[in-house]
Amino acid sequence: MQTISENRCFGGIQGVYRHDSAACSCPMTFGVYLPPQARTGSVPVLWYLSGLTCTHENAMVKAGAQAWAARAGMALVFPDTSPRGPDVPDDEAYDLGQGAGFYVNATQSPWSTHFRMWDYVAEELPRIVTANFPIDEERQAITGHSMGGHGALTLAMGQPERFRSVSAFAPIAHPARSDWGRKQLSAYLGERESAWALHDATLQMQARGFDGEVLIDQGTEDQFLDLLMPQALAEAMAARRQPGAFRLQQGYDHSYFFVASFMRDHVEFHARALDLI
């Protein structure tokens, strides 16, 4: 693992690191924030998955999460959204290829060699993080924005033994029925829609739900509401009587101004689940 940078931040350290990924068959970059409490022992961790076109850096510099994580005594991990590099397949469209991994293991050419983001976030990167940083692997939570909200929800429901809590900001809630999803899932996983179900938060909520609390924030002025389909997930949560909350935030759009406005709520939500407050 190579250290790219480390900066003092709210009494802790915000670092950026690179490693050669076996899952993605290319170098991958990620960020880790260690709160000041990590100097004296292991700390719980909140994973943050970013959205379309983002890298590890967007949430790291725009979401304002470090201030609240430092107060709670919680580490943050910011993975990248896809494999990258000159040998990694890409597409001219912003919503497919590099920057748009959708947190799935691609099975279709030309994506299948590198686009194994489920394995990367579910297995490989956690091993690297827990081996190199003072992380309490028994206390983990996950959140994300947009495509990352989709990833956070599906990973949490797909790995119920790993995460104590899950939240999302404006997630792509029903990709199997949305243009933000059908295009990407068919490209990465093929045309057989049954293979998409594990990567659709609404379908997973209907099938299994989450053994813990869920927090969803969605802006009412989000310019992508038709693509996100939040009503489908809200209805699935209500039908299952899923513990947690689905909140509509009046006047907010899809930007990081929205994410930053409610980041404290999300960090404190996870801090309670992780026995920090």
Active-site residue (options: 114, 174, 254, 270): 254
Backbone angles phi, psi at 44, to 5 degrees: -65, 170
Catalytic-role residue among 50, 82, 146, 165: 146
Q: How far is CA 63 from CA 58, 67, 119, 126, 213, in A?
A: 8, 10, 25, 22, 22
Nearest to 269 by CA among 201, 214, 218, 205: 214
Q: Would you place residue 58 in the very low, low, confident or very high pLDDT band (cuts 50, 70, 90)?
A: very high
Residue 142 has pLDDT above 90, yes or no: yes
- Helix pair 65-72, 256-273: axis angle to 10 deg: 10
- First-to-last C-alpha distance (Å) of the chain: 33
Q: What percent of the chain has pLDDT over 90?
A: 99
CB 58 within 8 A of CB 67: no
Decide if 146 is catalytic. yes
Question: What percentage of the chain carries pLDDT values higher than 70?
Answer: 100
Q: Is the pLDDT of residue 150 over 90?
A: yes
* Distance (Å, whole) CA 163 – CA 42: 17
Q: What pLDDT does residue 214 have?
A: 98
* pLDDT score, position 251: 98
Residue tagged active-site, from 114, 222, 266, 270: 222
CA 111, CA 124: separation in Å to the nearest integer? 19
| Strands of the sheet with 244-249, listed across from one edge | 2-9, 12-21, 26-34, 75-78, 43-49, 135-144, 163-169, 214-219, 244-249
Site of tokens 């689905």: 246
* Per-residue pLDDT tens digits for 211-248: 999 999 999 999 999 999 999 999 999 999 999 999 99
Superfamily (CATH H level) for 2-273: Alpha/Beta hydrolase fold, catalytic domain (3.40.50.1820)
How far is the C-alpha of 247 from the C-alpha of 138, rounded, in Å? Answer: 28
